[in-house]
Amino acid sequence: MRFGDVSYEKKDRVAILTLDDQKKLNALSPGIRQGLKEGFAEVERDADIKAAIVTGAGRAFCAGADITGFNFDPVSVKIFLNDVFQALTIGEHVSKPVIAAVNGLALGGGLELAISCDMIIASEKAKFGVPEINLGLLPGFAIVRLHQIIGRSKSKEMTMTGEPISAEEALRLNLVSKVVPHEKLMDEAMELAGKIASKPAIAIRLAKSSINRMLGGEEIVYACDAMPSLFATEDTQEGIRAFLDKRKPVFKDR
């Protein structure tokens, strides 16, 4: 089964959602975003499904936002962010447990999709980063979530430098639960999902909702409202042009 650019497979009581737009490194294109929404709607609908796994096809989990052909005026950005945030935060809102099996690059929105899941298992080849600062931007969802997971200092370092971290460092920072050999990633994810699926579903759902109860949502609304203002700055416009032109940006602090 396929929803947009996300393939959907059911194994026993586990749903596997695979982001599959490899030419764009599974960036958050409209097809990926729609596929995540429809795929997780199926996870909720199917009473036989007890847990879900999100992973990526090819060498990337998800390389971030797809900004090709995008209009960067504040109104368009606001509409875009509303849609992206719905896809990125879906792991928090689904009532069933969601495991991110990060097989490669998890950058920008890819890292954000992973941290919205309940737990992350990473391939030894995985890399995590929020490179938006290089475009004069900030990560819309990670800016309100990442520091809650890895602490303020490291979150600020990653956000302000845009430098990625390895799977091993992600494990040390408690960003991921486990790092495994690349070829064993899905086996490990399926084993964990199977263990969870064997437990009483009502108690599992209560565990998720209880631990997530403080996440709220007001901070995400604020981030979505505030972020479009960056697109009015000259530096952000330059950063986006440089990215599309594949050159180094020249920022002027205005």
- Domain assignment present for residue 12? The answer is yes
- Whether 237 is covered by a domain: the verdict is no
Spot the catalytic one: 38, 112, 169, 238: 112
CATH number where 15 lies: 3.90.226.10
- For residue 24, what are the domain limits? 2-197
- In the chain, the number of structural domains is 1
pLDDT in tens, 202-250: 999 999 999 988 776 677 777 777 777 887 888 888 888 888 888 999 9
Indicate if 38 belongs to the active site: no
> What is the DSSP track for the chain?
-EETTEEEEEETTEEEEEE--GGGTT-B-HHHHHHHHHHHHHHHH-TT--EEEEEESTTEEE--B--TT---SHHHHHHHHHHHHHHHTHHHHSSS-EEEEE-SEEETHHHHHHHHSSEEEEETT-EEE-GGGGGT---TTHHHHHHHHH-HHHHHHHHHH---EEHHHHHHTTSSSEEE-GGGHHHHHHHHHHHHHTS-HHHHHHHHHHHTGGG-SHHHHHHHHHGGGGGGSHHHHHHHHHHHHTS-------
Residue of 42, 132, 234, 238 with catalytic role: 132
pLDDT tens digits for range 101-115: 999 999 999 999 999
Catalytic annotation on 9? no
Residue 51 lies in a domain: yes
Residue 61 is assigned to a structural domain of this protein: yes
Structural domain includes residue 226: no
| More reliable by pLDDT, 124 or 214 | 124
229 domain residue, yes or no: no
- Predicted model pTM: 0.92
Is position 146 within any domain? yes
